[in-house]
């Protein structure tokens, strides 16, 4: 289960969703994928990792770094630090879904 300390919506339309998520210390989103949505994750603070599957990758996102996650790719965002960490999430939307996987 995701332990967001805060979610700040910056834009939410039929075409795009933009928000700043704050993950609690050592928290992460569940492993998941989107059928049509593309995620762009931007690091805002140190302590952020993006895990990807098929192929397996772990990317450390420093402030200003970005990773683009295409539809269908299983991923999660994790806070590896002992303090809350913020990241910017831009989602180009098609039909939004959140498909959890183990």
Mean pLDDT in residue range 66-71 = 97
Which neighbouring-strand residues pair with 57? Answer: 52
- CA-CA distance, 91 to 18, in Å (whole number)? 6
Tell me the per-residue pLDDT of 26-57, one tens digit each, with 9 for 90 and over.
Answer: 999 999 999 999 999 999 999 999 999 999 99
- CA-CA distance, 94 to 71, in Å (whole number)? 10
CATH architecture of 4-97: Sandwich (2.60)
Q: Which residue has better confidence, 94 or 40?
A: 40
Distances (CA, A) of 59 to 17, 35, 67: 23, 22, 8
- Token look-up 């539809």 returns 71
Strands (E), the chain: 4-12, 16-23, 32-33, 38-43, 48-52, 57-61, 66-69, 75-79, 85-92, 99-100
Position 1 confidence tier, pLDDT thresholds 50, 70, 90 = very low
Mean pLDDT in residue range 66-72 = 97
Mean pLDDT in residue range 63-69 = 98
Mean pLDDT in residue range 15-30 = 95
């Amino acid at each position: 289960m995701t332990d967001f300390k805060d979610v700040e919506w910056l834009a939410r339309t039929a075409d795009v969703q933009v928000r700043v998520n704050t993950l609690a210390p050592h928290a992460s989103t569940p492993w998941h994928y989107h059928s049509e949505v593309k995620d762009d994750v931007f690091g805002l603070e140190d302590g952020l990792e993006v895990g990807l599957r098929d192929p397996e990758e772990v990317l450390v996102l420093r402030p200003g770094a970005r990773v683009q996650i295409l539809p269908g790719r299983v991923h999660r965002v994790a806070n590896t630090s002992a303090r809350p960490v913020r990241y910017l999430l831009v989602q180009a939307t098609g039909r939004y879904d959140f498909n959890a996987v183990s």
